[in-house]
Structure 1
Amino acid sequence: MKSNKLTYAVIIAGVVLVAGYFIVKPKLAHNNYNKGLVLLDSAKYQEAYEYFDKAVKMNSKKPDYLFKRGVALAGLNKDSIALLDFSKAIAMDSVRFDYFMYRGISNRKLKQLDVALADLDRSIQLNDSSSKAYYERGLLNAALMNYDASISDYNKSIELDGTNLEAFYSRGESLANVSDFKGAIADYDKMIEGSNATAEAYKKRGIFKLKIQDYQGAVSDLLVAAEKDNADKEILYNLGDAYSNLKDFNNAVKFVDKALAIDPKYDIAYGIKGGALLRKGDFKAAIASFDKAISLKPDYLKAIYGRGICKALLKDYKGSIVDFTKVINLDKN
C-alpha cells in the first residue's frame, strides 16, 4: 500500500514538474529573446545569436525570435543562413515590412539583386514611412546602376529622416555617377559636417571638386584625406593631379612619387607625373615618365600624346610624328 502511494506521489511530482516546465518555458524563451535584443543593440552579434537561438529552440512558433536570430546571423555575415530564418518568419507573418526589408538586405549582400528588389519593394508597400527601407532600396538600385531610381529613394529616405547621414553619402555617390558633381559635393558637405568623416569621404569630395575644376578645394580635402590615410595611392595621385592643375609642379611630382612608392606599376600616376614635368619644362624627365606609363599601358593615349609634344619641343620631329600617328591610329576621333 505504501509502495503504491509512493509511486503515485512520484508520478504526480513528475507531472507537476513537466507541467511547470511547459508553463515556465515560454517565459524562459522570452527572457533569452530580451537578452538577445540588448546584445544586438550593442552589435554583439555572436552573443545575441546564442540567446536568440535558445529562444527559438524553446519556442519556434514565434516569428520575431526567428527574425532576430536572422538579423544576428546577418550581422555575422552569415546571410545565406539568415535568409532561412527570414523566410520562416515571413511564412508565419507576411505583413511585417521589416522581415521583407532584412531579407532584401541579405539578398543584396549575396548579389541576388532581383530577388532583393522584390523584397524591398514589398517592404515599402507594407510601410511607406520607413527611411531605412528607402535607403536600402537606394543602395540596391545603385548596385543595379539604376542611379536615377537610387537618387529618388535616397531623397525619400532623407525626407523621412534628415539625420540619416549615410543617405546623404550614398546619394552623393549616385549624383556623381550621373555627373552631378555639385550636388554630390553638397551631400558630402552635409555628411562631413555631421560626422567624424573618414579619409574615404574627404577623398571622394576632393575628387568631385577636381571634376568641377575647384583645384584649391580639391587640395584641401585631399590633404585631410592623406593625413587620415597616407597609404591610399588614389588620394596621393589625385593630390598630384590637383597641384599640377594649380601649376604647383613640385608638389605635383612629390605626391605622385608617393603614390608610385606604394604602387610602382600605377600607370596613370606616371602619366600625371609626365604631364606635370612637361608643363614645368623638364621635357626629358617628362619623356621618361611617359615611357614608363606607356610600357605599363601601351594604349595610354594621353601619355603617348604628351610624349609626342615633348619630342616636338626637343625638336625630335620624327619621333613626335610617330607618337602623334599612334594617337590618331588608336583614336580616330
Structure 2
Amino acid sequence: MKKIFILILSVIFSVTSATCVYASSSANLSDRKIIKQIKKYNKKIKKHPEKTKLYLKRGYLKFCLEDYKSAIEDFTTAQGLDDKNIDVYYLRGRAWFERCNYQDALDDFNKAIELKKRKSAFYVSRGLVKDRIGEYEDAIKDYTLAIKYNRRSKTAYINRGITNDKLGRYESALNDYRKAIKISKGYAPSAYYNIGLSLCKTENYDDAIENFSKAIEQNPMYSNAYYNRGLVYLKQNHLQYAKIDFEKAIQYDHQNNDAREALKSLKKELNDMYDTTLPSWMLETE
C-alpha cells in the first residue's frame, strides 16, 4: 500500500510579552477584552499623541487580533516619535513577517540588532525570516547567535533543529530538539513533535510514534501530532489506529485539511476492503 507522507514542520515564534488568543469567525471573551483595551488606548492617544509607548501598546494589541496592517501603522507612528526605540523595529518586524513581507521584516530585525546586538530574540526572529526565504545556512548562524546570547533559549534550539532538518542534518536536528527538552525539564511538546518528524525521514517509525505520543501527552489538542502519528500508523498498515488519529486531528483543528483528506482516502480504502454490499442471492425474493 503506497501512501504519501506530508510532514509539516512547525515554526515557533516566541511571544515575549503576553499570550494572545487569536480571533476566529466570532469574537470570544479574550478578544473582547483586547478590543476594550484598544478603545482605552484610543482615548489615551487622543490626549497624549506624543507618547511612543501608547502606540506600541495599542499596536501590540492589534497584533494579537491579527490586525497586522493596523499594528504596522501604529508601530510606524511610534518610529516617527522615537526612531531609536528597539521595540518599534522588533514588533513591526514580527507584523511584517506575519504578512509575509519578508524583506521589510528583515530590514526591521536588522535595525533592532544594530541598536541592541546581544538580544537573543532578535536573532531568532531574523533566523525565521531567513529560513522562510530559503537562506538556511544564514538562519542557522542566527539561531546559533541567539543561543550564544541566551543558552536557555528553547525557541532557538527548536528552530535551529527545524532548519537542520530541512538541510538533511537529522542528527544535528535531533540534538537541538533534545537540548530544548532538557532546558524545558521534559515539557516541550513541539520538540517531541519535531523529533517525530525527523525520525520519519530516517524511517524510524516506532520511535517516531513514541515521540508523537509524548507530544500528544503534553498537549492533548496537538492536531498535527495526531495527524502525523496517523500517517505513521498508515505506513505500518494499522488502519484503524490511523483513522482514530485523523479524526482527532480534525476534532482539534477543523481547518486541518491534510488530515481531512487523509481520513477521506482511508475511509474509501476501508470500504473497499470490507465491502458491505449484500450478495445478490440475499436480495432475491421467494
Query: Normalized against structure 2, the TM-score is what?
Result: 0.68
Deviation beyond 4 Å, 4+ runs, structure 1: 222-233, 238-241
1:79 maps onto 2:102 in alignment: yes
Deviations 1:287-307 (A, max 9, x none): xxxxxxxxxxxxxxxxxxxxx
**Separation of aligned partners in 1, 2:64 and 2:250:** 33
Distance in 1 between residues matched to 2:147 and 2:169, nearest whole Å = 18
Greater relative contact order (CA < 8 Å, ≥ 6 in sequence): 2
Q: Which consecutive unaligned segments of at least 5 residues does structure 2 have?
A: 1-47, 278-286
Give the match for residue 90 of structure 1: 113
Distance 2:259 2:51 in 1: 51
Normalised TM-score (structure 1): 0.59
Q: Which residue does 2:215 correspond to in 1?
A: 191
Deviations 1:39-85 (A, max 9, x none): 33444422322211111111111222212111111122212111001
The question of 1:65 aligning with 2:88 is answered yes
Q: How does 1:126-165 map to 2 (within 5 A)?
A: 126-161=149-184, 162-165=186-189
Match of 1:220 among 223, 233, 244: 244
Q: What is the aligned counterpart of 1:205 among 206, 229, 233?
A: 229
How far did residue 184 of structure 1 move? 1.5
Q: Distance in 1 between matches of 2:156 and 2:104?
A: 21
Measure, in 2, the Cα distance between the counterparts of 1:125 and 1:191. 27
Higher helix share: 1
Q: What is the SS of the residue equivalent to 1:140?
A: helix
2:75 — aligned with what? 52
Report the residue type matching 2:154 in the other structure.
S
Larger radius of gyration: 1
After superposition, the Cα gap between the structure-2 partners of 1:207 and 1:79, relative to the gap in structure 1 and judged at 3 Å, is same
Alpha-carbon contact 1:223-1:239 (below 8 Å) kept: no
Q: Where do 5+ consecutive residues of structure 1 fail to align?
A: 1-23, 255-333
Identity of counterpart residues, as a percentage? 26
**Number of corresponding residues:** 224
In the alignment, is the contact (CA less than 8 A) between 1:80 and 1:110 conserved in 2?
A: no
Deviation at 1:109, TM superposition (A): 0.9
Aligned residue in 2 for 1:168: 192
Q: CA deviation at 1:147?
A: 1.6
Corresponding letter in the other structure for 1:208: V
Cα distance change, pair 60–29 in 1 and its aligned pair in 2 (3 A): same
